[in-house]
Amino acid sequence: MTQQLVIYPLLLQLFLSIILMFSWKKISWQRVISIVGGFVNIAVSIWLFSYIWENGTQTVQAGNWPAPFGITFVADTFSATLVLLTAISGLVVSSFSSASIVVARLKFGYFPIFHFLLLGLNGAFLTGDIFNLYVWFEIILISSFVLITLGGEKAQLEGAVKYFTLNILGSTIFLTAIAVLYGLTGSLNMADLSLKVALIENRGLVDITAVLFLIGFGIKAAVFPLYFWLPDSYHTPPSAVSAIFGGLLTKVGVYAMLRVFTLIFVADEFLINTILIIAFLTLITGGLGALVQNNLRKVFSYLIICHIGYMIAGLGLYTEVAIAGAIFYLIHDIVIKTNLFMISGLIYRIKGTNSIRSMGGLYADSPKISFLIAIALFSLVGIPPLSGFWPKISLLSASFSAENWWIVGGILFASFITLIIIAKIWANVFWKDKVELPKRLNFRYFHKLTTVKKSQMIGPIVFLTLVSLYIGFGAEQIQQVSSRVADELLNNQQYIDAVLNNNQNLN
């Protein structure tokens, strides 16, 4: 049974979505199934992670077709880590959403679609086939379309049109890139492609294909200059939906970039320079964008873009230290961004507004919640020894040793600007004197909720804050994981052997 372990997180999510579809009208059942399923999913993911940690990269050949011909599912340390993080974010968001989203929205199939989204995420992390990656991207995309439009408010529909158009464009470019790659090599298996692309003599054509992949994934990951859809759409849906989007959706793009540009297109001068320029501009523009916004969730949306720059910079520097830093940042970022958007939802429930200027006095009203939020915000900035600090050290030391002063400047600039933004939020939302807001009728303020609902909203935030405290204080273990991932990514022979040499075992 453990031979098929790689596929279990996928099958579990598919099973959960089917069960949830059967109980389409029964929202109270769906809540229970979703949360219990989330716990099971964490257990399976921990099992997968510990198994991979002990035994190295594992593969499953779907349909028992040998490797370059069938679809392979591969779990190396990178995939297993991300599957585990998906499970954690999935559980907390399903708990948070069952408390914070109104039943009128939940009954249009929120939970089944949410688990289809998690299925797509797990699939994208585990697949070893480039076209299969495209299919998982589309599953993520169509689930996210439904989630972003659920409720059908005016702002949501306007945001959804932009989100929809640019993401479909990204997918089409990705598909075009796959077509060119298939024309060049005649293969779709990523391990096989790695061997075949290295043999192609026309390097210009390979570079163009790589740029097509870069644009396709860049739209998903929201890098400069392709990010404009993100701040226009992420603040419109319910905050639980924004939490899973902000935590995981852009990170799938980053994952795909890290995978493709270490495995298939081994970076040359041209690619590295392109990626570094993109990373620098992403750091700067995202930070400047966040500075001028007044809507709390728009600020966080721009911060997503700004912090994507760190990971892209880590990829662009292309040394083991830099990639380990990027992986560490990815782990930290998934947890912290999910948490941030849930916090914004909590503040919205307490105050009834998203505008930073009209808030105030949160610290005087509820000091305990403010203290909790403070830890999360400081982890985001990376005040030592909290979680954002350690990956930046790795990235900075890598860019110092590469003597790339632009990237050093970009990383420092983005860190300082994040600090300024957090200080601004803190001063305006927590310390400023309370502004009397008009009470909104029929609005479910936080203090009106039942104790169960309150704990369902606070619990996930406490849990994720603890996880990010662990990432900060247990940085050595996370660093071990990220160094191992970086080692596996740069020495891709291990991955190729695990996929292609599995054939002998079958026969």
Partner 1 sequence: MKTIILRTASDYLLPVLLIFSIFILLRGHYLPGGGFVGGLIASIAFVLHSFANGLSNTKALLRIHPGFLMPIGLMLAFLSAIAPILGFDLPFMTGIWMHEPISVLGTIGSALFFDMGVYLVVVGVTLTIIFTISESA
Partner 2 sequence: MEVVLAIIIGVLYAAGIYMILRRSLVKLILGIIILGNGANLLIFLLGRITKGSPPIIPGDSNVFLSAYADPVPQALILTAIVISFGLQSFAIILIKRAYQVVKTDDLDEMNEIDQDS
Q: Which stretches of the chain bind partner 1, using CB under 8 A? A: 1, 3-4, 7, 11, 14-15, 17-18, 21-22, 24, 60-64
**Binding partner of 18, given partner 2, partner 1, none, CB within 5-8 angstroms per partner class:** partner 1
Structure tokens at 116: 């289809």
Shortest distance (Å) from residue 56 CB to partner 2: 30
Q: How far apart are CA 449 and CA 444, in angstroms?
A: 7
User: How many residues make contact with partner 2 (CB under 8 A)?
Assistant: 40
**Binding partner of 160, given partner 2, partner 1, none, CB within 5-8 angstroms per partner class:** partner 2
Structure tokens at 135: 């299919």
Structure tokens at 103: 């039943």
Q: At 433, phi and psi to the nearest 5? A: -65, 150
Instruction: Please identify, using beta-carbon distances, which residue of 60 and 241 lies nearer to partner 1.
Output: 60
Instruction: Please identify, using beta-carbon distances, which residue of 59 and 242 lies nearer to partner 1.
Output: 59
User: Does 236 interact with partner 2 (rule: CB under 8 A)?
Assistant: yes
User: Does 183 interact with partner 2 (rule: CB under 8 A)?
Assistant: yes
User: Considering only residues 98-137, where is the footprint of partner 2 by CB under 8 A?
Assistant: 131, 135
Shortest distance (Å) from residue 264 CB to partner 2: 17
Instruction: Please identify, using beta-carbon distances, which residue of 158 and 497 lies nearer to partner 2.
Output: 158
Shortest distance (Å) from residue 443 CB to partner 1: 29
Q: Taking CB under 8 A as the rule, which mask of x and - marks residues 428-467 in contact with partner 2?
A: ----------------------------------------
- Residue 130 in contact with residue 188, Cβ under 8 Å? yes
**Binding partner of 420, given partner 2, partner 1, none, CB within 5-8 angstroms per partner class:** none
**Out of 178, 305, 326, 429, the residue judged to bind partner 2 by CB under 8 A:** 178
Residue partners of 197: CB distance under 8 A and separation at least 6 = 181, 184, 185, 206, 264, 265
**Binding partner of 491, given partner 2, partner 1, none, CB within 5-8 angstroms per partner class:** none
Instruction: Please identify, using beta-carbon distances, which residue of 55 and 294 lies nearer to partner 2.
Output: 294
Please state, in angstroms and as integers, the Cα–Cα distance from residue 79 to each residue in 292, 309, 492, following that order: 36, 21, 14
Shortest distance (Å) from residue 165 CB to partner 2: 6
Q: How far apart are CA 303 and CA 61, in angstroms?
A: 39
Q: How far apart are CA 222 and CA 273, in angstroms?
A: 18
Residue closest to 166 by CA, chosen among 103, 101, 99, 233: 233
Q: How far apart are CA 422 and CA 379, in angstroms?
A: 11
Proportion of the chain in helix, strand, coil states, percent, rounded to 5: 80, 5, 20
**How far apart are the two ends of the chain, measured CA to CA in Å?**
19
Shortest distance (Å) from residue 357 CB to partner 2: 7
What sections of 366-450 are H helices per DSSP? 367-381, 389-401, 405-425
User: Does 157 interact with partner 2 (rule: CB under 8 A)?
Assistant: yes
Shortest distance (Å) from residue 133 CB to partner 1: 18
Q: How far apart are CA 166 and CA 438, in angstroms?
A: 37
Residue partners of 245: CB distance under 8 A and separation at least 6 = 144, 147, 148, 234, 237, 341
Residues that bind partner 2 (CB under 8 A): 131, 135, 138, 141-142, 145-146, 149, 152-155, 157-161, 164-165, 168-169, 172, 175-176, 178-180, 182-183, 186, 188, 232, 235-236, 294-295, 354-355, 357-358
